[in-house]
Amino acid sequence: MQDSLAPLTLDGHYLLHEMFRVRRGEWRKLLEERRRGLAEAAAGLLAKMEKRPDGASCAVAILGQKADLMLIHFRPTLEDLHQAQQDFAGLELRDYLEPAGSYVSVVELGLYEMTLKIYSELEGKGLQPNTPDFDKALAEEMARQRERMKGRLTGAIPPRPYVCFYPMNKKRGEIKNWYAEGVRRRSEMMREHGVIGRRYGEQVSQIISGSIGFDDWEWGVDLFADDPIVFKKLVYEMRFDEASSWYGEFGPFLVGLQFSASELGRLLEGQTPALHS
């Protein structure tokens, strides 16, 4: 087995994060009835997106000055994802929202240890990598793994009120280069990383998405929790494991409040919206 082997991944729904700032000055110039009508139309669209059986959306009120509103869309295809973007862009409300960023990725489960196990088993059967028989057997095994993990690849958005999103990379520096480490060594480090995450399993719902080839960073991380302080504790503790301390690079963090579509008008009017689960 080649030590430079790339770990296998299971890929699920595509994700689009859209961030906006409210153009408060222009919004306040509108009559109250007009503002209400625009908010209700947008809330109606978001309500339909929340309940899609094949991939949902959620709205997040962002704290700080990076944005006011973040929408997270989960869809089975890029075409579906683009349509979600277009549907929201077609609203009249959109004229009063200024884009503040976006992120495109796909739900990803990295199979570090499973990759070693699968390759060892197939090679133990006399199959050689990069041959038709090996590729066929590998595809069959990946299909079984995909069915087993289907709920994590296409599951619903966690109905928890606090949300944290950030992108990240693995370092490719002159001294430390994640991609130059052997697959077994990378697997050991990710096992340690995963142990920490599992300790927070009941407190945090985590969605990891791959963005290599899709956006400027390599992964996106979405965390959902009932207590926001757990974001600090989890990320802080993970900074000390080897995979993060030597190889982790973190992008900007966005933290906010997930809210129900019916609460959009409250956000636009300068009030704190709520999540009705």
Q: Which residues pair with 10 in a beta bridge?
A: 109
Confirm whether 166 is a catalytic residue. Answer: yes
Q: CA 19 to CA 88: how far, in whole Å? A: 12
Catalytic residue among 166, 200, 236, 247: 166
Token digits of residue 170: 């693995």
Task: Render the burial of 173-212: b for 16+ CB within 10 Å, e for the rest.
Answer: eeeeebeebebeebbbbbeebeeeeeebeebbbbbbbbbe
Task: Render the burial of 46-68: b for 16+ CB within 10 Å, e for the rest.
Answer: beebbeeeebbbbbbbbeeebbb
Cβ–Cβ under 8 Å, residues 74 and 270: no
Q: Which active-site residues does the annotation give?
A: 166
